[in-house]
Structure 1
Amino acid sequence: MTGVRACGWGELDDRAARRVIVGGRPVALVRLGNRVHAIDDTCSHAEVSLAEGEVDAEECTLECWKHGSLFDLETGEALTLPALKPVAVHSVVVNGDDVLVELVPELGQ
């Protein structure tokens, strides 16, 4: 995988989301234990930052703070209303202290 450095491992709190910009695109990074998930950081319903929402480590979801839509961190699927459309999921590799993200094309393009 050829990814772009998004942040350092030490910058990510466990069970929390962090907004980063990768290649000009907002991405929400979520650390769950020794794993990091990366999804587009814009709610598909309200167009607000998902990184400001609540992480559910057991369900592997991120909740939009504005209206409560849940997004699956592994698939990007919108699990609850009012969001209907998924968000993109990106590949992540941790190399030492570097968290590398490989972006996928934006959904719908």
Structure 2
Amino acid sequence: MTDWVDVCKDGELDEGQCRIVDVDDTMIAVFRYDKDYYAIHDMCTHDGGELASGDVEGCEVICPRHGARFCIKNGKALSAPAYEDVATFPTRVEDGVVQVRDDRFD
């Protein structure tokens, strides 16, 4: 089981911003949306490129390479050329700190 990893202080990210953290060699993008935090694997399922530097529109991140869209809340692939969802990860706020963990292998 992976331990919780600190991302940033609660409130440090503005709406639509994200922070990337390395959790056991997995790059995770943690986004702030509608006062909550959501975490997805920072890797486009179309070609393996990173997602975090893409534009954020509402609860969608747009892959900067080929324009595929993913929901930051549930990881769903929303448009071609991506058809496979990205992994999502649990987040929490503990003592004023946003945290994430990789629970895929628990």
Bin of the TM-score, shorter chain as denominator length:
0.7 to 0.9
- Number of residue-to-residue matches in the alignment: 103
Unaligned 5+ segments in structure 2 are: none
Identity between Structure 1 and Structure 2 (%): 34
Higher normalized helix content (fraction of residues): 1
* Matched letter for residue 13 of structure 1: D
Partner residue in 2 for 1:74:
73
Distance 1:10 1:23, change over 3 A: farther
How far the C-alpha of 1:97 sits from its partner, in A, is 2.7
Report the residue type matching 2:25 in the other structure.
Answer: G
Q: CA deviation at 1:30?
A: 0.7
TM (norm. structure 1) is 0.82
Following TM superposition, where does structure 1 have runs of at least 4 consecutive aligned residues deviating by more than 3 angstroms?
Answer: none
Name whichever of 8-17 and 66-75 sits farther off. 8-17
SS of the residue aligned with 1:86? coil
Structure 1: 5+ residue runs without aligned partners?
A: none
Distance 1:42 1:69 in 2: 11
| Alpha carbons of structure 1 residues 33 and 75: separation in structure 2 relative to 1, 3 Å | closer
SS of the aligned residue for 2:52 comes to: helix
Name the counterpart of 1:100: 99
